[in-house]
Amino acid sequence: MGKQAILVTGASTGIGYATAHLLAQNGYAVFAGVRTEDDASRLAAAHPNLTPITLDVTKAADIRTAAALVRESGIPLYGLVNNAGVAVAGPLEFLPLDDIRKQFEINVYGPIAIAQAMLPMLRERRGRIAFIGSIAGRISAPFVGPYSASKAALASLVDAMRQELAGFGIAVSLFEFAAVKTPIWSKGRTAKDALVAKLPAAAIEHYGPFIEAIVAQTEREERHGMEPGAVAKAVLGALRSERPRERYVIGKQAKLQAMIAMLPPSTRDRLIKKAMQLPD
């Protein structure tokens, strides 16, 4: 079997970068979606099997160009790793609807649009699609509702797509995990400053202490989260497996949260409040 191509979205940092680099090390021709020229230069120098491409998953033109570049490479596309994502946080009572729409544009509609564009090539090779989800799709926490909702919506769509494509020999897997040491949370803190600046005074009056508690929680998760490489290894394993699993729950924390998600709402709420160290 000759060389095979894999497209990884959101490959500039974190899970995307770790996955793209690991796949390149294992002989795949990796098309790595990035958004800046600096990121493209850095990835191009990281490994000869890495080919950065400009890819904003919310832009139809970028998606069409990416599909054309992969096709024109002449290397058969075997896998798609849908990783690009953002985290929008804030009190739902005051969170601008445009911010929530942006959350869904990137985390839900983008991955489906990419899959639609790549499926003609994946169908030729009976390829694989890996969607990077989150255990947050099973258990929603206060002030990160948009993120949890986007991952829940993605999980439902992935379940449907998996069943629709099974008859064509295209395996579809969802990867769920809890805290990972990635820049998504530090980006979230930066966005928090911008969010606070545009929230009305009533929002800060009602939710100020809770917002600070959420920021402190994300800092703890950054310190104690698992390495992105753990997710990358799971993705590599799924791409290589003859019978990849439908869902991969990665890490002890994610497995614990999956069990908590099945508890009665009142019990679940108490555990979440305690874990997040939210004020009374």
7 DSSP β-pair partners: 31, 80
> Helices 110-125 and 60-73, interaxial angle, to 10°?
20
Q: Find, among 22, 8, 253, 6, the residue nearest to 138 by Cα.
A: 253
**CATH of segment(s) 5-276:** 3.40.50.720
For this structure, is 147 an active site residue?
yes
pLDDT, greater one: 274 or 28: 28
Any idea where the domains of the chain sit in the sequence? 5-276
The pLDDT-based confidence of 186 (bands split at 50, 70, 90) is: low
Given a cut of 80, whether residue 203 has pLDDT beyond it is: yes
The per-residue pLDDT for 50 is 98
Beta strands in 75-209 (DSSP E): 77-82, 128-132, 171-177
Q: Structure tokens of 100?
A: 């929530």
Question: Tens digit of pLDDT for each residue in 124-147?
Answer: 999 999 999 999 999 999 989 999
Given a cut of 70, whether residue 184 has pLDDT beyond it is: no
How many whole angstroms separate alpha carbon 243 and alpha carbon 140? 30
Q: Structure tokens of 229?
A: 């490489």
Given a cut of 70, whether residue 1 has pLDDT beyond it is: no
The pLDDT-based confidence of 34 (bands split at 50, 70, 90) is: very high
| pTM score of the predicted model | 0.93
| Mean of per-residue pLDDT scores for the chain | 92
Q: What SS3 state is found at 38? A: helix
Burial (0-12, 13-18, 19+ Cβ within 10 Å), 259: exposed
How many whole angstroms separate alpha carbon 214 and alpha carbon 144? 9
H or E element, residue 66: helix 60-73
Q: Locate tokens 């979606």: which residue?
A: 33
Burial (0-12, 13-18, 19+ Cβ within 10 Å), 173: buried
How many whole angstroms separate alpha carbon 89 and alpha carbon 103? 10
Can you tell me the mean pLDDT for 68-86? 97
How many whole angstroms separate alpha carbon 50 and alpha carbon 72? 16
Can you tell me the mean pLDDT for 25-53? 97
The pLDDT-based confidence of 216 (bands split at 50, 70, 90) is: confident
Beta strands in the chain (DSSP E): 5-8, 29-34, 50-54, 77-82, 128-132, 171-177, 247-250
Given a cut of 60, whether residue 80 has pLDDT beyond it is: yes
Q: Of residues 17, 28, 78, 147, which has the active-site annotation?
A: 147
Question: Tens digit of pLDDT for each residue in 94-128?
Answer: 999 999 999 999 999 999 999 999 999 999 999 99
